[in-house]
Amino acid sequence: GVQVLRRRLLAQARGRVLEVAVGTGRNLRHYPPHCTITALDFSLPMLREAKRRVAAHRCRAALHLMDAE
């Protein structure tokens, strides 16, 4: 299903990653540990949840409150 595809796709990421509309950060744990992630979202409640996921999974991610338009 979607979870399998998500894991396979994100496992291929390399270097610096820009994730637009990160939401609650469900993808973050699937990136390889060597990736540096910049994650954007315009919803503060979503970013708060993403921040919890970053801490729980020890991701190298910088979260930013902004609109991608």
Domain residue extents for the chain: 2-65
Strand partners, 36: 16
Question: Tens of pLDDT along 15-57?
Answer: 999 999 999 999 999 999 999 999 999 999 999 999 999 999 8
- pLDDT at position 59: 87
- Domain 2-65 in CATH 3.40.30.10: no
In sequence order, the 6+-apart residues with CB closer than 8 A to the CB of 40 are: 18, 19, 20, 21, 22, 63, 64, 66, 68
